[in-house]
Amino acid sequence: MSSNYGNAVNAADIKACRDRGQRVVLTVGGANAGFNFQSRAQSDAFVASFIKIVDSLGGQIDGCDFNNFEAHVGSSGTEMSYIGKALKTKYGADFSITCPPAPGAGYAPMDRTLTKAMSDAGVLTYAGPQFYDSSDLTQLGTIVSLVREWCAHLGDPRKVVVGLSSNYGGGPSLATCQSAWKQLLSEFPTLRGVFAWSAQDDAGGGWNWGKTMGPLVGVAPVNPPVDPPVDPPVTPTGDTYTVKSGDTLNIISSRTGVSVANLVSWNNITNPELIEVGQVLKLKAPTSTPTTGLQVGDKVRVDHTTSSYHNQTGTILSITPPTASVRLDSGRGFNLTWLKKV
């Protein structure tokens, strides 16, 4: 399952994932972040930098995912194999070296050259050819035929993971994913598994892809992370409000990064981040709730590109005027203007 975290990751986040039985890997590169390893000096510098990053994250990393050649910049198979061996020497044989190549030989021949070199050197744990973002790659026959090629190419089906998609318009349907896996597994019983682009898309679809594909692959379900319950924010009424211990206060401010706040208009607040118990706040006149046509019970989608919850869906449980604060059945709260009916 591919996951774009969207926030700074720390050692505690990584430990929480590993305690659930999940592996955590660092990805190198991306579509617009290619790097061409061509010299031993570059490789040694990378290994040193990687170790430094892992140390800063508590030393709890389970692998390195090479995506540096997706930008079509090439790389030396010798150097990437050298890096893989160095990292396995440092972190142990169970440390994974993986990559998500383009699946077709005609799309990115260097992907096959590099994965073959790493496989022959004994450092490649698996390659996950990606069957999405191109309509011809979403067809059952194409997926099956190209996975056959990859099994032959790497010499061992255990080195192949099938990259599919979850609740994502650029990938195969869930039915196609199911059919492809069943057919491939009958031919290659040791095929390593599947992954999906992406965790956010699957979450937006109620984790339906993972719940469906997991039993087919034979993976025990791992409960997705759940945000702890949040008490509803205090919405004061009247002319003034005295802050009490335990209050969660929703405040509008022109400042960014305000830690106590979401959405109520007050004045005479000089520093919203330093509001104290016992402080008396003078209230502004309430504003009206924006008119969006949404109401309790509507199925909605988060339409706010800067939010890590963009495109996730839910059902409105409550709307709190005058703040336009909306609570969804996921337990999360949003501004009413962030939501679109689906």
| pLDDT tens, the chain, 342 aa long | 444 444 578 888 888 888 888 889 999 887 777 888 999 999 999 999 999 999 998 888 999 999 887 766 778 889 999 999 999 999 998 999 999 998 886 656 788 888 999 999 999 999 999 998 888 889 999 999 999 999 999 999 999 999 999 888 889 999 999 999 999 999 999 999 999 988 888 888 888 999 899 888 876 555 555 545 545 555 566 667 777 766 656 544 333 333 333 334 455 555 555 666 777 776 655 455 666 788 888 899 888 776 667 888 888 877 765 556 777 877 677 778 888 898
Domain boundary among 193, 217, 241: 217
User: Structural domain tally of the chain?
Assistant: 3
Same domain (yes/no): 25, 123: yes
**Gap between the Cα atoms of 41 and 39, Å rounded:** 5
**Gap between the Cα atoms of 26 and 42, Å rounded:** 18
Domain boundary among 286, 312, 331: 286
Same domain (yes/no): 32, 100: yes
Token digits for 103?
Answer: 């699946």
From the number of C-beta atoms within 10 Å of its C-beta (0-12, 13-18, 19+), residue 274 rates as: exposed
* Whole-prediction pTM: 0.62
Strands (E), the chain: 25-29, 63-67, 96-99, 126-127, 161-165, 193-197, 240-242, 280-282, 299-302, 313-320, 325-328, 333-335, 339-341
| pLDDT number for residue 253 | 39
Same domain (yes/no): 22, 54: yes
Same domain (yes/no): 213, 231: no
Domain boundary among 217, 251, 269: 217
Which residues have CB under 8 Å from 316's CB, separation 6+? 294, 295, 296, 297, 298, 300, 326, 327, 328, 339
Which residues have CB under 8 Å from 84's CB, separation 6+? 64, 97, 118, 121, 123, 124
| pLDDT number for residue 175 | 93
Range of the domain at 198: 11-217
**91 falls within a domain:** yes
Same domain (yes/no): 25, 164: yes
Same domain (yes/no): 194, 148: yes
Same domain (yes/no): 252, 135: no
Same domain (yes/no): 141, 276: no
Same domain (yes/no): 53, 73: yes
